[in-house]
Amino acid sequence: MTYGEVAKMAGSPKAARAVGNIMSHNWNKSIPCHRVVKADGTTGGYNRGSAKKIKLLKSEGVNI
By annotation, the residues acting in catalysis are 33
Other C-beta atoms within 10 Å of 1: how many? 12
If we measure between CA atoms, which residue out of 35, 59, 30 comes closest to residue 19? 35
